[in-house]
Copies of this chain bind each other. A is one copy, B any other.
Amino acid sequence: MFDMIDCFFNPKSVAVIGASRNPKKFGNVILNNFLSGFTGKVFPVNPNADEINGHKCFHSVSEIKEPIDLAVISIPAPLVPAALKECSLHKVKSCIVITAGFGEVGNKNLDQELLSSIGKMRMIGPNVMGVFDSSTRVDTLFSPKHRQQRPDPGSIAFVSQSGAFGIALLDWCASEGIGISKFVSLGNKLDVNEIDMIDYLSSDNKTKSIALYIEGTSNGRKFYSSLKKAGKPIVVLKAGKTKEGERAVQSHTGSLAGESQVYSGAFRQAGVIEARTIEELFDFSKALSAPKMKGDHIQIITNGGGFGVVATDAIAEHGLKLGKMSDASIKRIHTVAPANATISNPLDLTGDASSLAYKESIVTAMADKHIDAVLVIVLFQIPALDNSIVDVFTVGKKPLFVCATGGEYTQVLKKMIEKNGIPVYPTPDRAVKSLKALHDYQ
C-alpha cells in the first residue's frame, strides 16, 4: 500500500491532464511547476493542443506510450470521471483531482461517479491543491511561485484538509525559512485520507514531525490508532470546534466536524499536541523536532530587561519554571558579562551585551544540570552586537529557543538562525508556549 501512496511524492512520470498555455489556468501553473523542478518525465495532456510552450502535448492519456505513475487532473468537473476511467484503463498508478465542484457543493452523484471510475488507482481529492514534495519537486500547487513561495527541504510534513489553508501556511513557512519535507492537501478525501497519510509519513525518513489541519475524520477509531502508533511528534489543528464552526465545516468540505471534546480527548490520549490556533500549529511544528527536554526549568538570557520580565511572566503563566544555575555557572558568566548585567534568571546582559557574552552565557546555561532548556531573547537592533551573534546558536543536547522581535534586519538574522535548526519566535509568549508544547509532548 505504501508504494501506491509513495507514487504521489516520488513518481517517475507524471501526466498533467488539463495542461494549458493560458497563465490564468491552474493547468498552466501546474505544468510549469513540473517543467521547472521535477526530474522525472512530464507529459502534458490536452485534447486541443499539439504542443505547449515548446513541449509536445498529448491529446489523451492513451496516446502516451510509457508507464505513468501519477496523473494530475485539472479539467471541468463533469469531464473528470471519463478522464479517470481512461487513466485506470491505461494503468496509471495514482491520480490527484485538483478540480472542485463535487460533494462539497452538493454534487454527491459526481462523487460516486469518481469513485466508480478510479479502478485500482489511489486518488487524492477532488477539490485539492494536491502535493508538494521539497526533494522530488512534485508540485501540483496552482498558486504561482511569484505569489506563493515554496519552502526549502526540511523535516516537517504538513497534511491539510483545506488546500487554501495549506498553501498559506507553506508560503508563511517559506518566507520564515522553515523547511518542509512533504505537503498534501486532502480536500474531499473520497479515497486517500488523513489516516493513509499519517501511516505513510510515520515511516517517511525525511519527516521528523507532522502538522495536521483537519475538519473531521470518517473513521475515528482508525484515525486514533494511526496517531497513536505514529512514533513521531504530531501537532493538530482541529477546525469546527464550535457549533458555528461545525456548520461552516459542512459547507466547506462536507465533513462532519463531530464533538470537539471527543477529538481533544483522543488527541491527548494518543500523545498528539493540539494547537488552538493557526499560529500555534505553526509555532509548535517548529518546536517539536528540538532535543529532549528533561524537566521544566528554563534559563532566560536577554539583552532587554523588559523582554526578560515578559518572558518570566509567560513562563509562570504557562506552568513552566525558572531554573537556578549553579554558583560555578554564575561565576563563569560574571567573567564575560557587562558591568551592569543582572546575573540571575532572567540573565539580563543589558544593551551592552556582546556576541561573546551571549555565547559564553549560552554555553554555560546549556551545560548547567539545573537547566532543562534555554530561552535566549536577542534584540538585534542594539549596536553592541555584531553579525557573529548568528553563529552563537547551535543545536545542542537541550532545547535552545530564540525570541527576536523586530523588522527587516531582525528577519534576516532570524532566518539564518532557523536554517541552523534553532526555532525563533517573534515574542516571548509564543516561544514559551512552544517550549511548553515540547515539554508536554515529551
List residues 241-295 of chain A with CB under 8 A from any CB of chain B: 241-245, 247-249, 251-253, 276-279
Whether a CB of chain B sits under 8 angstroms from the CB of A379 is: yes
In the complex, are the beta carbons of B242 and A175 less than 8 A apart? no
In the complex, are the beta carbons of B240 and A411 less than 8 A apart? no
Whether a CB of chain B sits under 8 angstroms from the CB of A348 is: yes
In the complex, are the beta carbons of A164 and B351 less than 8 A apart? yes
Whether a CB of chain B sits under 8 angstroms from the CB of A153 is: no
B contact residues around A149 at 8 Å (CB): 407-409
A–B pairs, 8, beta carbons within 8 Å: A143-B382, A146-B409, A240-B309, A240-B313, A244-B312, A249-B309, A252-B305, A277-B427
Whether a CB of chain B sits under 8 angstroms from the CB of A307 is: yes
Interface centre among A176, A304, A344, A428, by most B CB within 10 Å?
Answer: A304
In the complex, are the beta carbons of A313 and B242 less than 8 A apart? yes
B contact residues around A172 at 8 Å (CB): 405-407, 426
Task: Tell me the complex Cα distance, A249–B405, Å.
Answer: 20
B contact residues around A24 at 8 Å (CB): 383-384
Contact of A306 among B161, B379, B380 (CB under 8 A): B161
Task: Tell me the complex Cα distance, A6–B94, Å.
Answer: 71
B contact residues around A163 at 8 Å (CB): 304, 306, 351
B contact residues around A430 at 8 Å (CB): 279
Whether a CB of chain B sits under 8 angstroms from the CB of A218 is: no
Q: How far is the CB of A279 from chain B (nearest CB, A)?
A: 5
In the complex, are the beta carbons of A383 and B144 less than 8 A apart? yes
Work out how many copies of this chain go into the complex: 2
Instruction: Report if A162-B307 is in contact (Cβ < 8 Å); known contacts: A279-B430, A381-B171.
Output: yes
Instruction: Report if A350-B305 is in contact (Cβ < 8 Å); known contacts: A244-B322, A278-B310.
Output: no
Contact with B along A225-243 (1 / 0, CB 8 A): 0000000000001011111
In the complex, are the beta carbons of A101 and B340 less than 8 A apart? yes
Contact of A304 among B168, B215, B305 (CB under 8 A): B168
Q: How far is the CB of A310 from chain B (nearest CB, A)?
A: 5
List residues 346-380 of chain A with CB under 8 A from any CB of chain B: 346, 348, 350-351, 379-380
Interface centre among A171, A215, A314, by most B CB within 10 Å?
Answer: A171
B contact residues around A380 at 8 Å (CB): 147
List residues 152-186 of chain A with CB under 8 A from any CB of chain B: 160-165, 167-169, 171-172, 174-176
Whether a CB of chain B sits under 8 angstroms from the CB of A82 is: no
Task: Tell me the complex Cα distance, A430–B279, Å.
Answer: 9
Instruction: Report if A307-B245 is in contact (Cβ < 8 Å); known contacts: A252-B348, A427-B279.
Output: no
Q: Which residue of B lies closest to A344 (CB)?
A: B251
B contact residues around A399 at 8 Å (CB): none
Interface centre among A162, A243, A313, A406, by most B CB within 10 Å?
Answer: A313
Sorted nearest first, the 5 A-B pairs with minimum C-beta distance are A162-B306, A164-B304, A175-B407, A165-B306, A252-B305
